[in-house]
């Protein structure tokens, strides 16, 4: 798994979304935000999150989708329950995933973050295959983008407190961050540092 010159991840299926724009003011990748999504809530394998992110979801598909009609949102990546990865937006672009948000006093986190959606909901746990894919993605991002580090991996709830809960209380932060930290350290022993923004 690596990141190409066009800011796309090898090992991810490319499904380009229109829901992005330029990162403003020279912002780079300085934060990774973990989310969860399922449509309908708690139902997996429907393909509806991908259609939402591509702008092709029909609000009439399900009674709970009505207020999603016309919503323009997308993460950079979606990891499904089997650990398969889809990329919607190149990492050098601002994807519209976090909404009103703030991290360490800095508002508008979309400008300087990568958004990663896990197929799931805050009431559920996550599949081991999702953790494995997420770990590999985060190690690759941290190694590639100089502005990103293990300390700069957060949940949506952390940057939008009181408004968002994802990825939820069942998410294993300690295990994930321990594994990512170990992998980044191991990579550093035999890899040249990579240039990135
Ligand atoms: Zn979220």
Spatial distance between the Cα atoms of 139 and 182, rounded to a whole number of angstroms: 9
pLDDT in tens, 18-33: 999 999 988 999 999 9
Catalytic residue among 30, 50, 117, 119: 117
- Report how far ligand 1's centroid is from the alpha carbon of 3 (Å): 23
Cα separations in angstroms, 166 against 3, 12, 162, 173 = 26, 23, 11, 12
pLDDT in tens, 82-119: 999 999 999 999 999 999 999 999 999 999 999 999 99
Instruction: Give phi and psi for 53, each to the nearest 5.
Output: -70, -25
Spatial distance between the Cα atoms of 197 and 192, rounded to a whole number of angstroms: 16
Q: In the numeric block, which tokens belong to residue 4? A: 């190409």
The residue to which tokens 């932060």 are assigned: 173
Q: Mean pLDDT, to the nearest integer, of 12-16?
A: 98
- Report how far ligand 1's centroid is from the alpha carbon of 190 (Å): 35
Report the DSSP beta bridge partners of residue 31. 113
Q: Under a CB-based contact definition with an 8 Å cutoff, are residues 104 and 56 in contact?
A: no
Q: Which domains does the chain have, with CATH numbers?
A: 13-186 (3.40.80.10)
Q: At what angle do helices 128-144 and 173-190 cross, to 10 degrees?
A: 40
- Report how far ligand 1's centroid is from the alpha carbon of 123 (Å): 14
Q: Are strands 20-22 and 93-95 parallel, antiparallel or unpaired?
A: antiparallel
| Annotated catalytic residue 132 | no
The band of 128, judged by pLDDT with boundaries at 50, 70 and 90, is very high
- Report how far ligand 1's centroid is from the alpha carbon of 88 (Å): 15
Q: Under a CB-based contact definition with an 8 Å cutoff, are residues 94 and 23 in contact?
A: yes
Please enumerate in sequence order all residues whose Cβ is within 8 A of that of 9, keeping only pairs 6 or more positions apart, or say none: 1, 2, 3, 77, 85, 87, 91, 137, 140
Spatial distance between the Cα atoms of 3 and 146, rounded to a whole number of angstroms: 13
Q: Mean pLDDT, to the nearest integer, of 44-64?
A: 95
How many CA atoms, within 13 angstroms, populate the side-chain half-sphere of residue 144?
23
pTM exceeds 0.85 for this model? yes
pLDDT score recorded for residue 195? 55
């Amino acid at each position: 798994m690596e990141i190409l010159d066009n800011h796309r991840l090898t090992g991810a299926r490319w499904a380009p979304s229109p829901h992005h724009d330029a990162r403003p003011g020279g912002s780079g990748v300085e934060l990774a935000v973990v989310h969860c999504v399922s449509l309908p809530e708690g139902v997996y394998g429907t393909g509806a999150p991908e259609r939402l992110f591509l702008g092709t979801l029909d609000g009439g598909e399900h009674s709970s989708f009505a207020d999603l009609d016309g919503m323009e949102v997308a993460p950079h990546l979606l990891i499904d329950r089997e650990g398969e990865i889809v990329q919607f937006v190149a990492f050098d672009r601002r994807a519209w995933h976090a909404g009103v948000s703030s991290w360490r006093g800095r508002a508008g986190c979309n400008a300087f973050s990568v958004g990663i959606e896990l197929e799931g909901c805050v009431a559920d746990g996550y599949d081991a295959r999702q953790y494995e894919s997420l770990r590999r993605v985060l190690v690759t991002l941290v190694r590639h983008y100089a502005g990103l580090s293990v300390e700069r991996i957060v949940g949506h709830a952390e940057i939008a407190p009181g408004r968002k809960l994802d990825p939820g209380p069942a998410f294993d932060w300690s295990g994930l961050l321990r594994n990512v930290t170990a992998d980044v350290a191991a990579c550093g022993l035999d890899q040249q540092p990579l240039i990135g923004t």
